[in-house]
Structure 1
Amino acid sequence: MRSRRQLLAAAATACALLLGTANAADPANRVAVFDSANAARIAASQQGKPFVLVVWSLDCVYCKRNFDALGKLRAKHPELRVVTLSTDSVESLPQVRQVLDRVRLARNAWVFGHEPQERLRYAVDPDWMGEMPRTYFYRADGQRQGVSGVIGDADWARHLRWAGIAG
C-alpha cells in the first residue's frame, strides 16, 4: 500500500508530465524530460547543424543575463539554433515553461528528470561541476566548447564564429 506522501508525489509528477506534453502536437515546442540515457538526443536533434545549448536554472540570476543576450543575438541571427536545459526538477515544469515562453526559447527545451543531479550533469559533460549558467557551442561536426558564467558580447561573437554559426 502506498503512503499518502508517495501518492502525492506521483500525482505531482503526473501533472508535471501532462503539462510538459500539453503541446504534443508540436513536439519541438514542449519541454522534454532529460535523463542520462537520452543525453545524446540533444545533439542528434539538431541534425548536424551548429547550435547553442544553454544550461540554466530558475534560481540562477546570471542565467537571465544570458537569456537577454540570446534574445538580442536571435534578433540579429534568426537562424541561431538554441536548445535549453533547465536543471530544475520536473515538478518545476510550470515555472520553467513560463520563463521559456517569456524569453521566447520554448522550442527544443528540456528539464532535468528524476535521476540524481550529479548523474544528469555528468551525462551532459563529465567535466562540468554544476556552475551556471553553462553554455555549450556545438559545431556541425559535433565538436563543442563549454563556457561557464555570463558571456559578454565580444565572447558571444567569438564562440558563435568558432561554432560556425555567425560570421
Structure 2
Amino acid sequence: MMRSRRQLLVAAAFSALALLAGTANAAAQADDRVAVFDSANAVRIAASQDGKPFVLVVWSLDCVYCKHNFDALGKLRARHPGLRVVTLSTDSAEALPQLRQVLQRVSLTRHAWVFGHEPQERLRYAVDPDWMGEMPRTYFYRADGQRQGVSGVISASDWDRHLRWAGIAG
C-alpha cells in the first residue's frame, strides 16, 4: 500500500513537471507568433505600440540589404534595450518556418508580421501609399503617430538621426 502511494506521488510530480514544461513551451511559441498582415491591419501595427515611439522594419527573405538593417538593429538594441521594433515581412505566410528562423537569429521575434493573401500592391499601399516596394524600408514612428519612411540601407549616423527625430534616443 505504501509503495503505491509513493508511485502516485512520483507520477503526480512528473505530471506537474510536464504541465509546467508545456506552459513554458506555449509561452515561448506565443512570443514567436507571426501575425498575418492584411490591408485592414495597417492601423493595428501603430496601435499595438500603445502610443510609444517605435521602428517598423519592412523586409523580405530574398532582400540581401535587409540583413544589414537587422545587423544595425542588433547593435542599436544593445545600446538602447528599450528600442521597440516591429517587423513586417513581404513574403507569403507559406514561408513562416524560414521567417521565424531569421527572426530568431536576429532576436526580433516579438511584434512580427507577414504579408497576407491580398495582392502585394494593396498591402504595400496600406503600409504607405508612397512606397513602391523598395527594400529594406524602415519607418520611424513618433509617440504622436507621425512617421518618416526611409528606403535602403541606413548608415549608423542616419540611424541615430532618425531615432532622435522619433524621440527614441537622445
Q: Which TM bucket (shorter chain)? A: 0.7 to 0.9
What is the aligned partner in structure 2 of residue 120 from structure 1? 123
Structure 1, unmatched stretches of 5+, are 1-21
What is the aligned partner in structure 2 of residue 160 from structure 1? 163
TM-score normalised by structure 2 residue count: 0.83
- 3-state DSSP of counterpart to 1:126: coil
1:29, distance to aligned residue in structure 2 (A): 3.7
Q: Separation in 1 of the partners of 2:30 and 2:125?
A: 26
TM-score normalised by structure 1 residue count: 0.84
What is the aligned partner in structure 2 of residue 149 from structure 1? 152
What is the aligned partner in structure 2 of residue 139 from structure 1? 142
Letter in 2 for 1:105: L
Greater Cα offset, 25-34 or 110-119: 25-34
Seen in structure 2, the aligned counterparts of structure 1 residues 23 and 143 have a Cα distance that, compared at 3 Å, is farther
2:113 pairs with 1:102: no
1:80, distance to aligned residue in structure 2 (A): 0.2
Asked if structure 1 preserves the Cα contact closer than 8 Å seen for 2:124 and 2:131, the reply is: yes
2:48 pairs with 1:39: no
1:28, distance to aligned residue in structure 2 (A): 5.0
Seen in structure 2, the aligned counterparts of structure 1 residues 79 and 121 have a Cα distance that, compared at 3 Å, is same
Seen in structure 2, the aligned counterparts of structure 1 residues 41 and 23 have a Cα distance that, compared at 3 Å, is farther
- 3-state DSSP of counterpart to 2:51: coil
More helix by share: 2
Asked if structure 2 preserves the Cα contact closer than 8 Å seen for 1:23 and 1:29, the reply is: no
Asked if structure 1 preserves the Cα contact closer than 8 Å seen for 2:32 and 2:100, the reply is: no
Greater radius of gyration (CA): 2
Asked if structure 1 preserves the Cα contact closer than 8 Å seen for 2:57 and 2:137, the reply is: yes
1:98, distance to aligned residue in structure 2 (A): 0.5
Asked if structure 2 preserves the Cα contact closer than 8 Å seen for 1:54 and 1:134, the reply is: yes
Q: 84, 88, 94: which is aligned to 1:91? A: 94
Seen in structure 2, the aligned counterparts of structure 1 residues 77 and 153 have a Cα distance that, compared at 3 Å, is same
Seen in structure 2, the aligned counterparts of structure 1 residues 162 and 42 have a Cα distance that, compared at 3 Å, is same
Seen in structure 2, the aligned counterparts of structure 1 residues 26 and 96 have a Cα distance that, compared at 3 Å, is closer
- 3-state DSSP of counterpart to 2:87: strand
Q: Hey, which bits of structure 1, 4+ residues long, moved more than 4 A?
A: 22-28
Seen in structure 2, the aligned counterparts of structure 1 residues 137 and 23 have a Cα distance that, compared at 3 Å, is farther
* Matched residue count: 146
1:38, distance to aligned residue in structure 2 (A): 1.1
1:30, distance to aligned residue in structure 2 (A): 1.1
2:56 pairs with 1:53: yes
